[in-house]
Copies of this chain bind each other. A is one copy, B any other.
Amino acid sequence: MTRSRSEPGKTSTQSAERRTRSLNRQRVIEATIAMVDRDGADAFSLRALASELGVTPMALYNHVASKRDLLVSAADRILASAKFDHGETNWRLQIEGCFRALREVCIRHPGTARLMEIEGIAPSAVFGPMEVTLDALSKVGLNPTDAMRAYFTLVSFTLAQVSYQTRGPFSHLDPAEAIRKQNLSASLVELVREALPASSSWDFDRAFEYGLSLILDGIEKS
C-alpha cells in the first residue's frame, strides 16, 4: 500500500520524501471533503477523520494547523473547482451563469453550505464570483458601491437558498405550532402546507431561478 513506483530515475536520497507514506496535506483535505459531504459538517471531527485515515488524531497536526484551517482549506478547494466566468458578453447571462455555477458546486458537495456557515469560512466563496459580477454590473452603469451591494445581495440569496435545500431546515418544523407561536392566522396553514419548501412538491431549481430573476429585474430597472 505504501509502494511508489513512479519516476524510477531518481536517486535514493529523495525517495524518503517521495515515498507516499500515509499522510500528506492533500490526502487529509480530500478525506475531509468526502467525510463532510457524507456525514455533514457538524458531525465532522478531527478524531473521526484520524480514525478513518487509520492514524492518531495528533498525526493530522503535522499537515494542518487546526480544525478551522482544515475546514477553510476544504471549502477553498471545493469552491476552486467551480468556473464562474463562461465568456459571456451579455451582462445578465454573465451573472446568471456565475451564480448558477456557485449554486451547482455547493449542491454537488452537500456539506459545503453548512461548512461555510462555520466561523468565517464563507469569505473565500465570496470572492469567487465577485470579479465577473462586478464586471457585468459596470456594463449596466452601476457605480462601484452599488455594484458591491448588488453583488452581496446575489451572494446572500444564492448561498441561503442552497443552505435551505441541502440542510432541509424545515424537517424539524411544525407549521401549526409555529403559526400559533407567532400569532398567525389559521388561513396560512393550508397555504403553507402545500407551498412550503418542506413539501416534496417544492421545486428548488425554479425557486432559485425565480429569485435570481427578481434581483436581476431590479438591477435592470435601476
Contacts and interface: CB of A to CB of B under 8 A. Distances in A.
Interface of A: 42, 76, 79-80, 117, 119-120, 122-124, 126-128, 130-131, 134, 144-146, 148-150, 152-153, 155-157, 159-161, 164, 167-173, 175, 178-179, 181-182, 184-185, 188, 191-192, 195-197, 206-207, 210-211, 213-222
A59 to B, nearest CB: 26
A172 B76 CA distance: 14
B191 A120 contact: no
A181 B124 contact: yes
B169 A211 contact: no
A174 to B, nearest CB: 9
Contacts of A175: 127
A185 B131 contact: yes
A145 B195 contact: yes
Contacts of A220: 221
Highest count of chain B CB atoms <10 Å: which of A76, A145, A149:
A149
B120 A117 contact: no
B164 A156 contact: yes
B222 A217 contact: yes
Nearest to A131: B184
A87 to B, nearest CB: 15
- When A and B form their complex, which 8 residue pairs have the shortest distance between CB atoms, in order from nearest? A156-B160, A214-B218, A153-B211, A217-B218, A218-B218, A123-B173, A120-B172, A127-B178
A150 B210 contact: yes
A189 to B, nearest CB: 10
A169 B120 contact: yes
A161 B156 contact: yes
B217 A153 contact: no
A191 B144 contact: yes
A217 B221 contact: yes
Nearest to A207: B149
Contacts of A207: 149, 152
A24 to B, nearest CB: 19
Highest count of chain B CB atoms <10 Å: which of A76, A130, A161, A221:
A130
